[in-house]
Structure 1
Amino acid sequence: MYELDVVNVFVGPDGRGGNALGVVREGRTVPQEMRQGLAAEWGFSESLFVDDARTGLVDVYTPGARLPFAGHPLVGVAWLLRRQGEDVPVLRPPVGEVAAWAEGEASWIRARAEWATGRRTEQFRTVAEVDALPAPPPGDGWLYAWAWEDEGAGRVRARGFPRRGDNVVEDEATGAAALALTAELGRSLTVRQGGGSSILTRFHHDGTVDLGGRVRWDGRRPFAPAAGPGDQRAAGAGCRPQDHEEDIS
């Protein structure tokens, strides 16, 4: 049996929103050939396996692909490890070293803008136009639709549509896309995405962007991959994470 922690990343200031992330803290015990199947079974926009908490070595998957970099999983796992007494100043996904730290209620990472690839941003004239978009809009490829809420204050309304053929129709909060938009605009932002998520960014002229937000723990559940090849189903699949809550502090 393994354990899966679920955290919500980029929770809004009123406690709503947040993008669910599945984290296997003892990732080194899960063979790599099983991970993609598990990520597809769980259905989170991203799932993360911690291969070495001491050195920050992590492995990230969507339901259909392994990712070299992803924003919300790294913000989320940095918070989770810190909550459990593992203060990891550097995370190491396949793309390279990512600094991680905490400021007040927010968990932060620093990443390079060129790591946030594969997402097209499109500006709309008004927030109402962004809110009126169907999920997903017609077309192919990852779309980050956005409009200014308050340009002077750097406040943005955004929605994210992966359009990649898996079960994630709309991403509630997308760190890499917010990072890409920050780099394109050349300024720090506060992004309101999805149904209530809040993403904070800081632009730096050296090509890096800080990405941060609030994180909430939403429970833990056991899972056991099935014995049959290619059939890695979680024990109790379909149950809510809070059905197996316990203290993680």
Structure 2
Amino acid sequence: MTDFDVLRVFCGPRGGYGNELGVVREGSVMPDRAERQEFAAKLGFGETVFVDDPERGVIDIYTPSLRLPFAGNACVGAAWLLDVPELVTPAGVVGARLDGEFSWIEALPEWAPPRTFRQYASAAEVDDLRVPPPGERSEMGVPPDEVWGRIYAWAWEDEAAGRVRARAFPGRDDGVDEDEATGAAALQLTAHLGRALNITQGTGSQLLTAPQPHGWVEVGGRVFLER
């Protein structure tokens, strides 16, 4: 089997939680897109990155069911692993830097698919959300996954401090009902609110963000090599 690393991205302060990310450092061993898609499906991680040029930071990103032009989780993890000043993705060039325990990227929010931001009155309401069965994922006559698959549920834990509680429901057909940490959604929420955020997502993942000039947004998190 092709060699690959497993990272956990956007870990909590004590190193737990985060999203698992597969990284194939030698992308040249699997140049065909269909083969890459099949391999990503076999691994089953939320995202798998193929590194096509480690020195220039050229990467190719796949979920178990589709190829992505950009993904925050994948880019933060790849930036940490490759330790390069930028990443080259199909969406564009992503700035990258390491700062103490955090790996940061800078990207444009529009590179990611649009999401429905649903604000709740309290963090407890977000905690209590359940993932509905497919037959219940409808809203106002819109096809079920077309709505549910875009939801990023959030609430202020401490508005003055920019602390947010969030959960994300991708609604994909690859078995991922809820994302533990979603860098692209964090970018978009930051752009929407126009301020830096400290987001706790899923069961305990942490994402930090900060708006930058000209519409760019930084997102950062802790990354650990699992194997």
Q: Does the pair score TM above 0.5?
A: yes
Q: Does 1:18 align with 2:1?
A: no
> Counterparts of 1:46-65 in structure 2 under 5 Å?
46-65=47-66
Amino acid at match of 2:175: N
Q: Does 1:188 align with 2:188?
A: no
Displacement of 1:118 after TM fit?
2.9
CA distance in 2, matches of 1:2, 1:162: 28
Q: What fraction of aligned residue pairs are identical, expressed as a percent?
A: 57
Structure 1: state its 5+ residue gaps: 83-87, 220-249
Q: Counterpart of 1:105?
A: 101
Amino acid at match of 1:15: G
Change (3 A) 1:136 1:108: farther
Displacement of 1:136 after TM fit?
4.7
CA distance in 2, matches of 1:76, 1:165: 24
Amino acid at match of 2:94: V
- The ranges of structure 1 where at least 4 consecutive aligned residues each deviate by more than 4 angstroms after the TM superposition are none
Please give the per-residue CA displacement for 1:84-137, whole angstroms capped at 9, x wherever unaligned: xxxx11100101100111001000000012112232211111111111111257
CA distance in 2, matches of 1:169, 1:215: 23
Amino acid at match of 2:18: G
Please give the per-residue CA displacement for 1:36-83, whole angstroms capped at 9, x wherever unaligned: 11111111111100011011110001111100010010000111123x
Q: Counterpart of 2:205?
A: 197
Which has more helix, going by share of residues?
Answer: 2
CA distance in 2, matches of 1:34, 1:216: 27
Q: Does 1:208 align with 2:219?
A: no
Structure 2: state its 5+ residue gaps: 139-144
CA distance in 2, matches of 1:69, 1:172: 18
1:158 corresponds to which of 155, 161, 166: 166
Count of residue correspondences: 214
TM-score (norm 2): 0.91
Contact 2:9-2:221 at 8 Å conserved across structures: yes
Q: Counterpart of 2:142?
A: none
Q: Counterpart of 1:178?
A: 186
CA distance in 1, matches of 2:107, 2:39: 27
Q: Counterpart of 1:232?
A: none
Q: Counterpart of 1:127?
A: 123
CA distance in 2, matches of 1:116, 1:52: 23
Please give the per-residue CA displacement for 1:146-200, whole angstroms capped at 9, x wherever unaligned: 0000000000000011002211111000000000000000001000001110000
